[in-house]
Amino acid sequence: MVKTIKQRPRIILALESCIEWILCFIVGIMVVNVAAGVFFRYVLQNSLSWTEELGRYLMIWMGYLGAVLAMKEGSHVGITSFIALFPPVLRRALEVLASMIVLAFLGIVLVKSFSHLESLSIQRSSAMELPMVFPYLAVTVGVFLMAIETLMVILGFRWEPESTGEGKQGI
């Protein structure tokens, strides 16, 4: 019996691709930011006040967006050796149950993050004078996107890594 895998919707694939590009862009900004910080501090002997803050906020965004991709790939920590003891039908039921619990948690965090964002709308960061909504928005966006990925698991849409052709043998 051949197990069929539901193809992920195109909009989800486009969203995931967009997240990957955003992460690449963030890494690029972080490299330039660190290089500028080091150059100004050690070469020009005049450090920039905002490089650490920018690096911190970019790292937060990177963490939450990276968690979305980890959710897509099923790379988050799990007890797979325990679940592997059960037959496939029960394994799938446990996977759906765990995903529903994760989705409930993400829903709670998402709702709480909106109320938290309201209180942060008047606060500004110390060095860059950036509204603190922008760094904390990473929580809201990341949790929302993780909830979408969790829904994909519940609905049975699997992520299959792109094949490089290695290890495949023809019959």
Kindly list the domain boundaries of the chain, sorted by start residue.
Answer: 10-154
**What is residue 131's three-state secondary structure?**
strand
Give the model confidence (pLDDT) of 68-116 as tens digits: 999 888 777 776 777 788 888 898 888 889 899 999 999 999 999 988 8
Give the model confidence (pLDDT) of 20-32 as tens digits: 999 999 999 999 9
**What is residue 48's three-state secondary structure?**
coil
Q: What is the pTM (predicted TM-score) of this model?
A: 0.82
Task: Identify the bridge partners of residue 124 per DSSP, sorted by sequence position.
Answer: 131
Give the model confidence (pLDDT) of 149-165 as tens digits: 999 988 887 766 665 44
The percent of residues above 90 in pLDDT, for the chain, comes to: 50
134: left (phi over 0), alpha (psi -120 to 50) or beta: alpha
The predicted structure's pLDDT at residue 131? 87
In 3D space, the residue among 135, 115, 117 whose CA is nearest the CA of residue 127 turns out to be 135
- Give residue for tokens 């790292």: 59
Q: Give me 150's structure tokens.
A: 């969790």
**How many Å apart are CA 67 and CA 113, to the nearest integer?**
17
Residues 6 or more apart in contact with residue 103 via CB below 8 angstroms: 147, 150, 151, 154
